[in-house]
Amino acid sequence: MDDIDSSSGCCGDDSDDTGSSNGSSDSSGWDEIMTDDPMVDGSAFNVSSVSCLFCPQIFRSVEDAIKHCSVDHQFDLVNLKTKLNMDCYSYIKMINYIRSIKPDPGVLTESVIANNQLWQDDKYLKPVLYDDPWLLFDFDDMEEMEFGNGSSTAQMSYSGSCGHHVNAENGRVTLSETHFSELQKKIQELYAQVRVKESLLKDAEDAICRMRQTLNNVITSENKSDTNKLNSVPRCVSSVDVKDDHCYFNSYSHFGIHHEMLSDKVRTNSYRDAISQCVTGKNVMDLGCGTGILSMFAATAGANKIIAIDQSDIVYQAIDIIRENGLDQRINVIKGRLEDTIFPKDCDKFDVIVSEWMGYFLLFEGMLDSVIYARDHHLAPGGLLLPNRCSVSIAGFSSPGRYEELIGFWSNVYGYKMSCMKREVVGEALVEVMNHDEQITDTFEVFTIDLMTATVDSVNFVTEFKLNASRDGELTSIVGHFDVFFDLKNSIFFSTGPSTTPTHWKQTVFFLKQPISVKQGEVLYGKMICQRHKKEVRSLTVTIVIKDQKQIFMLH
C-alpha cells in the first residue's frame, strides 16, 4: 500500500486505532490514509481500472466511465435505468451483452426506443470479463448523475453505513485504518460472492446443456421406434405397455378380493340370472374371468364354446377350479391381456361377451376400454354384451359425525393444528357404505352409457345437475353410485345405491371442503366433470362445482 500517513504513528504502532490510550475522540483518533492504490482511490473506491464499454479508454471509476459513455457515446445509463425500470439482473445482462456483441451505442439506443431489449436472453448472466468492475458496481443505488466537463478533482463527502466519515480530495482519501480494513474485507467478500455466482451459473449452464442433449436423445430414440408415440398420451388401456399395467392385474391375484366379489350376492346372482337366459348353444367370451365363476355359469346354462381370459395370475387357480368341477372340456382358459391376445381365425368371434368390468364410480379401473375392444374386434354380428347399459347417479348427504371424524379431526391433533391435512382428505374420493337416512336431497342421474355404442372417450363427461333438498341440514358430501342393466327378454337390473342391499362397490363419497347449509325445498345447482387421468389411464379425476365451491377429486 502506497503513501500512508498517520498523525498517531505508523500502522505498526501498538496503539489502538483511536491513536489514544484514554479513548479520546478528537481528530488524532483517525489514521489518515492517502494512497494512489485503485482499491481505495477515487470517489467510489473502485476495485480496479475500468474500461469503457465502447472504446479502449480506461477510467479510475465506473462513475467516470458512465459519464464518458454519456458524453462521448451518447449512451445515458442513468436515463436508461429510469426509462426501462431496469433491475440489477437486467443491468448485468446488458453489460455482458455489450461485452460479447460489441454493438454500436446507436444500435442499443434504437432498440430501447423500439422497446426491444437485445440482452433479454439469460445466457448474458454469465460474465464475459473476469472481475468486470461494471458488474461490481452498485447499480440499484445509482442516483442521478450530472454529465459535463466537470473537474476530476471534485470533492465528495461520504458517510458509510458503519458511521465512518470519509473525505476525498484531489484523488486522495482520508479514512481510518479500521474503516480501510473493513472496506478491504468487504471487497474480498464481494469477490468471493461473485466467484461463487459465476461458478453456479457455469454449473447451471452445463446442466441445461446436458438436459437438452438427453432430451434430444430421447426424442430421437422415440421417433425411431414409434413416431406417433412421442406426441401422444395414453387414451385407453390398449395404449399402455402390458409391463406398465402389471400393478393393476396383480391387484386381482390375491384370493381376498375374489372372496369379496363372490360374497356379493347382488352382483353374482344378477350375472347368473342374465347368463342363463341367453347363452344356450352360443359361443361365449368371459372377459376378465377371475376365478371363472361366470364361465361356469355359462357352461351350466348350455353354452357351446367358452373362452375365459384374464391377465392376472388368478387364472392358474381358475384352471384348477374349472378342472375340479369337470368343466375343463367346455371352458378354455387363456392367460393374457385381451388387447395383446391373438385368437385363431375360426374362434375369434363370440355370440355373447360377458364381463364384470365395473369399478368404483362405475368408470374407475378403465376395464370399460377392454369391453369396447372386445366388442369391436370379437363380437359376432347380432351378438350380445352382458351387461349392455349402465348409469351413474349422485345425491347430497349430511353426515356431520363422519365429516368431523375424517376432516374436523385435523383441526386439533393432541393439541396441535394440522389443518393442511384437510386438503389431502377432501382431495380423494372415499368408498364407503352410506346410511340412507343421511341423504338430504333427491337423486340425479349424471351419466348413462350404452355399451353397444360407447367409445374409450365416453369416460369423459360434463353434466350440469340440480339437487332438491328434502329437508333442512348441512350438506357435507356428494355421494355417487351406479346402476347396471341387462336388457334381455326378462330384464335384469341391480343398483349399488345407498337405499339398496350393499354391494362390494359400496358408494363413492366426495366430501366438501366446507359444509353447505340447505333448507327444505331449496334447489342446489352444480356441475360434474369426469375425466380420465392424463397419465394413469385407469384412474379418474372428478371435478364438482356446487354453491360457489369447486373441488377436484382423485380416484386412483
Burial 39-66 (b: 16+ CB within 10 A, else e): ebbbbbbbbeebbbbbeeeebbbbbbbb
Residue 128 burial (CB < 10 Å; 0-12/13-18/19+)?
middle
Out of 365, 405, 438, 445, the active site residue is: 365
How far apart (Å, rounded) are the C-alpha atoms in residues 417 and 420? Answer: 8
How far apart (Å, rounded) are the C-alpha atoms in residues 42 and 430? Answer: 73
Q: How many CA atoms lie within 13 A of 191 on its CB side?
A: 12
Query: Quick check: 421 and 407 in contact, CB under 8 A?
Result: no
Q: Provide the 8-state DSSP code for 534.
A: S
Helix (H/G/I), strand (E/B), else coil: 507: strand
Torsion on CA atoms 277, 279, 281, 285, rounded to nearest 10: 180
Q: How many residues does the chain have?
A: 556
How far apart (Å, rounded) are the C-alpha atoms in residues 107 and 110? Answer: 5
User: Helices 77-84 and 105-113 sit at what angle, rounded to 10 degrees?
Assistant: 20
Active site residue 356: yes
Out of 32, 356, 438, 445, the active site residue is: 356
How far apart (Å, rounded) are the C-alpha atoms in residues 491 and 531? Answer: 31
Active site residue 536: no
Pull the grid cell for residue 393: 347417479
**Amino acid of residue 435:** N
- Which residues form the catalytic set? 356, 365
